[in-house]
Amino acid sequence: MQFTFKGALAALATSTMLVGTAQAELTGDLRIFFNDQNPAPRAAIEGMVERFQEMHPDLNIDLTLIDREANKTQIRNYLTANAPDVNGWYAGNRMRPYVNAGLFEDVSDLWDGPMGEELASTRPALTLDGKQWGVPYTYYQWGIYYRKDIYEELGLTPATTWEEEKANCQAILDSGRKCYTIGTRFLWTAGGWFDYLNLRTHGYDFHMALTAGEVEWTDDRVRETFAKWRELIDMGAFIDDHTAYTWQEAQPFMVNGDAVSYLMGNFVVEPMRDAGLTDDQLGFYQFPEITPGIPMAEDAPTDTLHIPAQAQNKDNARAFLQYVASAENQTIANEVLGQLPINSNAEVADDKFIQAGFEMLSNATGGIAQFFDRDADAEMASAAMQGFQEFMVMPDSLDAILDRLESTRQRIAED
């Protein structure tokens, strides 16, 4: 679907939002391919383009909206033939194939100075080989959502350490409830648990090396991560028969009070509210520390914009990406998206969970991971997440699981 923004446009709701973002007036063309046709992302990108057009009325801007799944199959073709000036994609390992193929432009210059400071928490996710290859426009937090009212009933407070987490879990089990709901019918939910256990046990650099295929799955450090996971499994912390449930089907266990917590992305909040939980009943806390001294890294899947290496209007594209990342635009765009602004100076929506996520991610000194199936090679991610699910059901199979994953890693490395 093609949209052209040119000429007279509706005035901005408030002109003060553009203070500090004024640039020399641009002319010529700017072609943007955006990889989401869903209502909120569509409204957000159209708003960004309208505001940027208002700043540069003599610039010809063409915006093409592409379905997310269709974009995954089309991206390599359009990056090599008739490339746009800006295209939508993802951070982390998902951009590596296009960086390695020379299809994305190095935009490290945009990260120099104030912008780099304001986007510091997302910098590692956009960095490969010491350079930055795109600009984020939104992300959302993961963490532990919990029944605050049940915690209060049991006299518990959210854990900050692994020992506290296990002690809380035991108290919950003693009350006749499960500690965590989860639905591993969709394997990625188990990937969230592995991510956090590995990030907290060994840190961001090790986790990213593992997901990049640079560490053997039979490494003792990987076994240590699974040992932490097994501590919860052996306690009986997770709901029974979780392989039968999707992530949505696992929610009623928490809504009904049969389970007390859910390690999940912030998108779980609205379904929980729709199911009847109030904000007084629902709380959020950061996944607790496991290894003291390791900086706290977080999972925060990040959506990004890039400049193709074969783009024809790179100066205009750079100016647009600077505007996208600005605090002014981030405040407006993420109000529309209902997600988190990536600029630490942006205003955040008046929602307690979005506020909590923004504070947590803005102070994520350990780095921002993209989630296992974005950080790892696609084939490796599929095999590993199957292994995670199997481990949760049959933890005694760990040796066979790790041997199988290591064989997969080696085969991928040889291809």
Domains defined for the chain, CATH in brackets: 2-140+303-369 (3.40.190.10), 142-299+377-414 (3.40.190.10)
Tokens for 157, please give them: 């407070």
Identify the pLDDT of residue 113.
Answer: 87
Identify the pLDDT of residue 365.
Answer: 86
CA 249/CA 247 separation, integer angstroms:
6
Number of residues in the chain = 415
Question: Is residue 28 left, alpha or beta, with left meaning phi > 0 and alpha meaning psi from -120 to 50?
Answer: left
Identify the pLDDT of residue 272.
Answer: 94
Amino acid at residue number 193? W
Its pTM surpasses 0.85: no
Closest CA relative to residue 389, chosen from 211, 83, 182, 221: 182
CA 266/CA 315 separation, integer angstroms:
35
Q: Are strands 282-285 and 142-147 parallel, antiparallel or unpaired?
A: antiparallel
Identify the pLDDT of residue 240.
Answer: 98
CA 45/CA 67 separation, integer angstroms:
14
The answer to whether the beta carbons of residues 238 and 255 sit under 8 Å apart is: no
10-residue mean pLDDT profile of the chain (415 residues): values are 38 34 78 92 96 97 94 94 96 90 98 93 91 96 98 98 98 98 96 98 96 97 98 98 96 98 93 95 98 95 96 98 97 91 92 93 88 91 97 98 98 91
Identify the pLDDT of residue 378.
Answer: 85
The answer to whether the beta carbons of residues 388 and 194 sit under 8 Å apart is: yes
Identify the pLDDT of residue 347.
Answer: 93
Beta bridge pairs of residue 298: 368
Query: Which strand (E) or helix (H) includes residue 145?
Result: strand 142-147
Tokens for 282, please give them: 């629902």
The answer to whether the beta carbons of residues 348 and 141 sit under 8 Å apart is: no
CA 269/CA 256 separation, integer angstroms:
15
Identify the pLDDT of residue 7.
Answer: 33
Question: Is residue 82 left, alpha or beta, with left meaning phi > 0 and alpha meaning psi from -120 to 50?
Answer: left
DSSP 85-139: SEEEEESGGGGHHHHHTT-B---GGGGSTHHHHHTGGGGGGGEETTEE--EEEEE
Identify the pLDDT of residue 25.
Answer: 87
